[in-house]
Structure 1
């Protein structure tokens, strides 16, 4: 029906029809709706290892693992079989009111076994946003159980990303997630994150920079009143905000401040969990000891929507006491702890362990980081940064001043478009080009990724020289 309305053949089997129908029917996330209505979208039809294939049959190296999330590649048969087996046995049930499911029990046990520090209980949801919303509510619930009714404000970081639901978007420190949405909500505060390339002062060491950021956090706590600050949320590596790597001792100093004022620490490992940094968790890479741990994305390689919130014994005791007073812990989701998602997660974690993908991420990550740093001398490259199999190349028009070319993001958008033409999917975060390939990537495939990026970078440089 829609196809005929836009004056094309009504057969939905024709991809030209699908493009037009998409333009007529869908509101896409993180997309300029007016541009999309004119240009349409790239339709991805199939997956093959680290590759995705579009509706015309063109293959692309997926340099972003989808949305930072596909550890084991895009056609892992074991995950398909795990989902199919569970669908055949029990396609859906819930965990409300003292009911549960075998895959959820087994997954919770496994997560507690591999957690970077001792944790007590697991709450299962569907997405990182839901998990971070849950974490906020748990923090509030916990402090109410302690009679600390004023201890409710949450501190996170500028350029941090924690999701897009109302509370999670309030945690997120990116202006575009706030503008016109009337966010952030009251009680959500933001301090500077560790943007080493942009914010470190001339002559400032990693240590003194970390001291400055920790001091800023403490000053905000003192200004607001420690009795009002409930929790600090942070990603081990700030990913969607530009792949920003914390300086040495940063996390230790931040944790010391939080412990000093009895502020809960929430580690958002939605992106860094399950091997991305070369350790099973980013908390291990950076010595973070959270009270609450948030997981998603690579937990199932995104074959199924799933997230998990792990809490330590102290937080659990407060929540359990409060639920007993009220008579219930009145929080949950219809699809939270879905049996198919839990079964896929168990198999995905088994693959990561059996195939040594954490160790592989460390080894392949060293190759990727070395290759990316080979672009540091390029005329458009201001900075290269990363850890494990996550990295970024920041483009500038002037290396000395770090100034962008034209409106910020201009070079980034142009390069990503050229990369796509060359069969490589990347993501521009402003003028920072993010890399986050699947953990299964091989040395040969890293070489291919780098070669395609090099062509796109040179094409961007030629275009830039013509525009100067």
Structure 2
């Protein structure tokens, strides 16, 4: 990489470690420095514009800049720039936000606990599952069941609950007691002639067999995203959660709904739990809660778990958990304003309208030689890239074709995320039909570019 000694690129490779980045390749390639955002677009420091098809990391729901939210943050900093919620202290913004979240909850919830990221929220949900069963006199309930392809964060516990071996093995993870059941990716893993309903039945039976094999009295909780995010933007097959929740209820296993990606409109409802009729004991949320503008996450805690928290506090005194910045007044103020903006924009109707339009336009890509399947809901979708449509044979090695697509799209001014060999699309919720037309046109041209390169 050739750059001036004091350029941002040179300073970057001498100072920063980049998450989810090939660190060796980065020393040669260097960074792409983004300078500003405007609506669904971001601009690099040379002024080149990119349509951001992933809302950054699923979170920039209102786009990449906001004077209105900047003013809210500024005013809160001028009034009360920081305070905590420890030891009976509180501030108005965290109280207001907690009340608002309980009103918006997809099923009745008792209390809200704030954190700073989705990883922290899911990590805490796992701790609360153990806390609950200890209060119930069943400390042997320690095991957490996640799913292959599921992703719940990068803490030691949350990545152990995830089905991402590439993020586990180099760190000597997962921890003992974390299990993964079969993935809910119908197109890739269904057997010949198997319907979505039959596939869901097979997955529910596999979960039940795992529970029986491990023994129900050792299982604390099942954690799942309503729609798999970082595993490929995968909607569940029909009847999946009906059957999964029946198994959980049969063996009295807590259900943690990871709404970090789905929450606040992504699926066309305020919650993915509403979209798929989930009845969780704990809901975790982050990302769109502040439209990505501030680090904040929230756990919505059901009455069953909250009663156990009260019982533990009666026994042990303090609820011995928390973080310095949880419920931060600036982050809470911004989140409150974001919820107001969603309401003013009637964001759910907008997502249903433009999301339906996006999925209709994506269906046009099914005829492309590289496209095996398209699936999605609301403003989230995925495109499976295959070598052979008839046999559903994916390319080998996995990820090679995906890397080619990401690079070809970038050259056309699109920033898309490809997970394995599945293009995932989760644009800002404020995207317009005109911008979707641009996105679909450039994706088609990108696929053509890659197909020609393969030839």
TM-score normalised by structure 1 residue count: 0.95
Matched, 1:290 2:244: no
> In the alignment, what sits opposite 1:33?
23
Deviations 1:100-149 (A, max 9, x none): 11110000000000000000000000000000010010110111111101
* Matched-pair contact (CA < 8 Å) for 1:397–1:404: yes
Secondary structure of 2:172's aligned partner? coil
The range that moved more, 108-117 or 193-202, is: 193-202
> In the alignment, what sits opposite 2:393?
403
> In the alignment, what sits opposite 1:153?
143
> In the alignment, what sits opposite 1:3?
none
Once the two structures are TM-superposed, the CA of residue 396 in structure 1 deviates from its matched residue by 1.3
- CA–CA separation in structure 1 for the residues paired with 2:94 and 2:3: 49
Once the two structures are TM-superposed, the CA of residue 9 in structure 1 deviates from its matched residue by 4.7
Please show how residues 274-285 of structure 1 align to structure 2 within 5 Å: 274-285=264-275
The range that moved more, 297-306 or 20-29, is: 20-29
Among 179, 190, 203, the residue aligned to 1:213: 203
- CA–CA separation in structure 1 for the residues paired with 2:407 and 2:5: 30
Matched, 1:456 2:446: yes
Once the two structures are TM-superposed, the CA of residue 402 in structure 1 deviates from its matched residue by 2.6
* Matched-pair contact (CA < 8 Å) for 2:255–2:281: yes
Please show how residues 352-431 of structure 1 align to structure 2 within 5 Å: 352-431=342-421
- CA–CA separation in structure 1 for the residues paired with 2:3 and 2:40: 37
Deviations 1:261-283 (A, max 9, x none): 11001000000000000111000
Once the two structures are TM-superposed, the CA of residue 7 in structure 1 deviates from its matched residue by 9.0
- CA–CA separation in structure 2 for the residues paired with 1:419 and 1:386: 20
Once the two structures are TM-superposed, the CA of residue 8 in structure 1 deviates from its matched residue by 4.0
Matched, 1:225 2:212: no
Please show how residues 313-332 of structure 1 align to structure 2 within 5 Å: 313-332=303-322
> In the alignment, what sits opposite 1:238?
228
How many matched pairs? Answer: 454
Secondary structure of 1:140's aligned partner? helix
Among 188, 193, 198, the residue aligned to 2:188: 198
- CA–CA separation in structure 1 for the residues paired with 2:359 and 2:341: 24
- CA–CA separation in structure 2 for the residues paired with 1:439 and 1:158: 28
- CA–CA separation in structure 1 for the residues paired with 2:174 and 2:287: 24
Once the two structures are TM-superposed, the CA of residue 398 in structure 1 deviates from its matched residue by 1.4
- CA–CA separation in structure 2 for the residues paired with 1:226 and 1:405: 39
**Structure 1: unaligned runs, 5 residues or longer:** 1-5, 11-16
* Matched-pair contact (CA < 8 Å) for 2:185–2:237: no
Secondary structure of 2:423's aligned partner? strand
> In the alignment, what sits opposite 1:55?
45
CA RMSD of superposed structures (Å): 1.1
Among 169, 189, 199, the residue aligned to 1:179: 169
- CA–CA separation in structure 1 for the residues paired with 2:359 and 2:3: 50
- CA–CA separation in structure 2 for the residues paired with 1:438 and 1:358: 13
> In the alignment, what sits opposite 2:32?
42
Matched, 1:307 2:297: yes
Once the two structures are TM-superposed, the CA of residue 180 in structure 1 deviates from its matched residue by 1.1
- CA–CA separation in structure 2 for the residues paired with 1:35 and 1:411: 18
The range that moved more, 445-454 or 291-300, is: 445-454
Secondary structure of 1:78's aligned partner? helix
> In the alignment, what sits opposite 1:435?
425
- CA–CA separation in structure 1 for the residues paired with 2:300 and 2:157: 18
Deviations 1:322-349 (A, max 9, x none): 0221111110001111110000000001
- CA–CA separation in structure 2 for the residues paired with 1:19 and 1:273: 35
> In the alignment, what sits opposite 1:95?
85
- CA–CA separation in structure 2 for the residues paired with 1:171 and 1:357: 32
Once the two structures are TM-superposed, the CA of residue 76 in structure 1 deviates from its matched residue by 2.1
Deviations 1:187-207 (A, max 9, x none): 111001211011111111121
Deviations 1:149-181 (A, max 9, x none): 101111010000100111111111111111211
The range that moved more, 275-284 or 68-77, is: 68-77
* Matched-pair contact (CA < 8 Å) for 2:3–2:9: no
- CA–CA separation in structure 1 for the residues paired with 2:387 and 2:11: 39
Matched, 1:142 2:135: no
Once the two structures are TM-superposed, the CA of residue 25 in structure 1 deviates from its matched residue by 1.2
Once the two structures are TM-superposed, the CA of residue 401 in structure 1 deviates from its matched residue by 2.6
- CA–CA separation in structure 2 for the residues paired with 1:360 and 1:433: 23
Secondary structure of 1:25's aligned partner? coil
